[in-house]
Amino acid sequence: MSIKGYFTRFELCLWGSSVLLITASFLALGGEGVFTLIASLIGVTSLIFCAKGNPLGHVLGITFSILYGIISFGVRYYGEMITYLGMTAPMAAVSLISWLLNPSPESRAEVKVNRLKKRDAEIIMLLAAAVTMIFYFILRYFGTANLAVSTLSVTTSFAAACLTFRRSAYFAVAYACNDIVLIVLWALAAVSDISCVSVLICFVVFLVNDLYGFVNWKAMEKRQAIMAKLLEKGDQS
C-alpha cells in the first residue's frame, strides 16, 4: 500500500500538522515525558487510519490504550487507566475482528459502514448508563481524581467503543465527545503538573482528527451505498 497514494493531500497535511503540534508541545516543555510523546504519536496515527476505515487503526489503537493507561496511572486518573486497559483496548481488539470480517466491496483495507438501527442505539444507551453507574462507585472507591469528569469519560468511551464495534460513522462523534471530556480532565491535571499539558494538546489534536473521521465516514457510507446499488443492478442484468 502506497502511503502517498492511499491518503489524500488533506489527510497527509492533517496527520503531519498533528505530529508537528504534538512534538512542538513536547519540546516546549523541555523534552520531558518521552513516554507521553510516543503514546500521542501512535494515537494520532491510529486515528488517521480509523478515519479511513482501515483495521490497522485498531492495532495502533490497542498500543495507544496500553501506553495511555500507564500514563493515567501516574497521575491517579484510575478511571482512565481502568477504562483504557479494561475496556477500550479489549473493545478495540473485538472491533478489529469485526472490521476484518466486514470489508467493503471495494477493498479489504476499508471496513463496510453499518447504519445503526434504533434498537442498537437504545441498547448502547442503556448499557452506557449501567456501566457509568458501576464505574462511578469503583472510581470513588479508588479515590480517583476529578471523579465526576472521570466518570463522564467512561460513559463517552464506552459508547464510542460500542459504536466502533458496530461500524457506525457515529463512533467518531462519540470519540470527539470523549476528547472534549479528556481536554477538561487533563486541563485540571495541568494546573498542578505542567507536564500534563502535552497530554492536553494530544487530545485537542485527537478532537480535530475525530471530527474529520466522522466527515470521511459519512462520505464512505454514501460511496459504499452507491457502489452497492451498482453491483445490485449488475447482478440483475
Give the residue among 132, 174, 168 at the shortest CA–CA distance from 150: 132
In a domain, 112, yes or no: no
**Residue 77 or 210, more confident:** 210
Cell (9 digits) for 147: 471523579
Structural domain harbouring 125:
3-102+118-236
Q: How far apart are CA 141 and CA 15, in angstroms?
A: 39
Cell (9 digits) for 158: 464506552
Residue 167: how many CB atoms within 10 A of its CB?
20
In a domain, 138, yes or no: yes
In a domain, 95, yes or no: yes
In a domain, 107, yes or no: no
Q: How many residues does this entry show for the chain?
A: 237
Summarised one tens digit per residue, pLDDT across range 196-219 is 888 899 999 999 999 999 999 999
pLDDT for residue 1: 54
Q: Domain count for the chain, please give it.
A: 1
- pLDDT at position 41 over 90: yes
In a domain, 130, yes or no: yes
* CB-CB contact of 11 with 48 (8 Å): yes
In a domain, 195, yes or no: yes
pTM score over 0.85:
yes
**Residue 32 or 179, more confident:** 179
For residue 37, give Cα distances in angstroms to 26, 64, 106, 107.
Answer: 7, 11, 35, 32
In a domain, 137, yes or no: yes
In a domain, 87, yes or no: yes
Q: How far apart are CA 175 and CA 173, in angstroms?
A: 5
